């Protein structure tokens, strides 16, 4: 084995006194079965399907059989999942007002098949109402596939948040140079000068992001500090104690922290960490709210992010925070119209 600091760093296992499985080089596995059952129930139940024939709604997830796991080897994540699902549905024919029931079966949702190729069978109890069955076979199947994609997206982002542990940077090795921002996201150049030593003395990086929201600053601020609103956009139970020294916990414990500064409608500062980061290692997150006409520009500064967790952290804020808050605001606006 090459010594630390020599050869290609991707093929070197760092020696550490604390015996940490650095960067998950050795095979590690995390069971995602219980989490997946809750997430599948969340994304599938309550789906509404409407068309000229009538209106249908997905009911309970009657049968869930299978398992899911996330494995890590040499810093790469590998997903295994296999599910047999059965859902109930009920609907009303538009013209006659007749009500009908049926089921949706997904016999094999697995990593071996793309969602578009996954078999979805729709059945209906005896009697008339085939127009609703046809509606479920077409529009309903499309909605179910979208929900399954949401589950897989969450499995690969929300569940695995921070799963890859940081490793120290070899002497003389430069970190990636500046990446071009996409959309309204702006990221700092990542250079040796931007590294900090935090907690367990790991190399860290600062992330800057900007996002525009169709909301006044006070409303956006409340979304980050009100428990009910946080639970709406995160779709998970949360602990939100929005006061100095108050605790924060989101995404079923994947993210936790503490409020250190709050200026209503202007600024929030947090100690913030992912569950699988080294113990007691926190980043410092500063959220600044700027009124721009009828919109608000949110400026995010996240300092102290482990270098190897840079991409997953950026994706967490983009996918799990910003995109979900946009959806929450849009739903609120739609309900007022």
pLDDT higher than 70, residue 8:
no
Quick: pLDDT tens for 158-200: 787 655 544 444 333 333 333 333 333 333 433 333 344 344 4
What does the pLDDT read at residue 27? Answer: 54
pLDDT higher than 70, residue 121:
yes
pLDDT higher than 70, residue 61:
yes
Give the range among 200-214, 235-249, 258-272, 286-300 with minimum mean pLDDT: 200-214
Phi, psi of 270 (to 5 degrees): -130, 150
- DSSP state letter for 142: H
B/e letters for 167-192, b = 16+ CB within 10 Å, e = fewer, are bbbeeeeebeeeeeeeeebebbebee
Average of pLDDT values for 133-161? 89
As annotated, the residues of the chain forming the CATH 3.30.530.20 domain(s) are: 204-335
Between 2 and 201, the higher pLDDT residue: 201
Which residue is listed with tokens 């500063």? 286
**pTM for this model (two decimals):** 0.49
- Whole-angstrom Cα distance, residue 165 to residue 143? 36
List the one residue out of 112, 62, 104 whose CA is nearest residue 82.
112
CB atoms within 10 A of CB 279: 9
User: End-to-end alpha-carbon separation of the chain, Å?
Assistant: 65
The CATH classification number of 204-335 equals 3.30.530.20
CB 165 within 8 A of CB 24: yes
pLDDT higher than 60, residue 283:
yes
Strands 121-124 and 197-198: unpaired
Beta bridge pairs of residue 205: 305
pLDDT higher than 60, residue 5:
no
List the one residue out of 325, 68, 92 whose CA is nearest residue 211.
325
- Burial of residue 292 (CB within 10 Å: 0-12, 13-18, 19+) is exposed
Give the range among 20-34, 253-267, 314-328 with minimum mean pLDDT: 20-34
pLDDT higher than 70, residue 99:
yes
CB 190 within 8 A of CB 184: no
Quick: pLDDT tens for 18-54: 444 444 444 567 888 888 999 999 999 999 999 999 9
Positions of E strands within 200-333: 202-213, 239-240, 247-250, 255-263, 267-274, 283-292, 295-306
> Is 28-158 a CATH 3.40.50.360 domain?
no
User: What mean pLDDT is reported for the chain?
Assistant: 81
CB 221 within 8 A of CB 268: yes
Q: Which residues contact 306 (CB under 8 A, 6 or more apart)?
A: 165, 166, 202, 203, 204, 205, 277, 278, 281
What does the pLDDT read at residue 333? Answer: 83
3-state secondary structure of 5: coil
What does the pLDDT read at residue 277? Answer: 86
As annotated, the residues of the chain forming the CATH 3.15.10.20 domain(s) are: 28-158
Quick: pLDDT tens for 214-252: 999 999 999 999 999 999 999 889 999 999 999 999 988
3-state secondary structure of 88: strand
Average of pLDDT values for 208-216? 94
Alpha helical stretches, state H, the chain: 33-44, 130-135, 141-156, 217-225, 227-234, 310-315, 324-336
Share of the chain above pLDDT 90, in %: 55
């Amino acid at each position: 084995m090459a010594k630390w600091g020599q050869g290609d760093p991707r093929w070197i296992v760092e020696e550490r006194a604390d015996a940490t499985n650095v960067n998950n080089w050795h095979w590690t596995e995390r069971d995602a079965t219980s989490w997946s059952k809750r997430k599948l129930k969340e994304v599938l139940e309550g789906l509404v399907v409407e068309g000229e024939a009538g209106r249908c709604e997905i009911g309970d997830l009657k049968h869930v059989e299978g398992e899911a796991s996330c494995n890590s080897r040499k810093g790469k994540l590998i997903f295994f999942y296999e599910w047999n699902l059965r859902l109930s549905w009920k609907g009303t024919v538009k013209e006659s007002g007749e009500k009908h029931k049926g089921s949706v079966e997904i016999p094999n949702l697995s990593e071996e098949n793309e969602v578009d190729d996954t078999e979805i069978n729709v059945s209906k109890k005896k009697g008339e109402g085939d127009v609703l069955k046809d509606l479920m076979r077409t529009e309903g199947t499309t909605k179910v596939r979208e929900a399954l994609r949401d589950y897989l997206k969450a499995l690969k982002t929300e569940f695995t948040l921070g799963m890859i542990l940081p490793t120290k940077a070899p002497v003389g090795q430069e970190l990636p140079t500046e990446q071009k921002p996409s959309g309204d996201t702006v990221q700092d150049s990542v250079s040796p000068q931007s590294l900090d030593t935090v907690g367990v003395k790991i190399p860290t990086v600062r992330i800057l992001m900007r996002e525009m929201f169709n909301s006044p600053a006070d409303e956006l601020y409340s979304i980050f500090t009100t428990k009910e609103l946080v639970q709406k956009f995160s779709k998970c139970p949360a602990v939100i104690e929005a006061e100095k020294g108050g605790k924060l916990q989101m995404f079923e414990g994947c993210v936790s922290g503490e409020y250190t500064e709050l200026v209503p409608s202007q600024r929030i500062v947090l100690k913030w960490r992912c569950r699988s980061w080294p113990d007691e290692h926190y980043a410092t997150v500063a959220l600044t709210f700027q009124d721009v006409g009828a919109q608000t520009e949110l400026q995010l500064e996240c300092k102290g992010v482990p270098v190897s967790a840079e991409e997953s952290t950026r994706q967490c804020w983009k996918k799990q925070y910003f995109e979900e808050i946009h959806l929450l605001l849009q739903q609120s606006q739609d309900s007022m119209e």
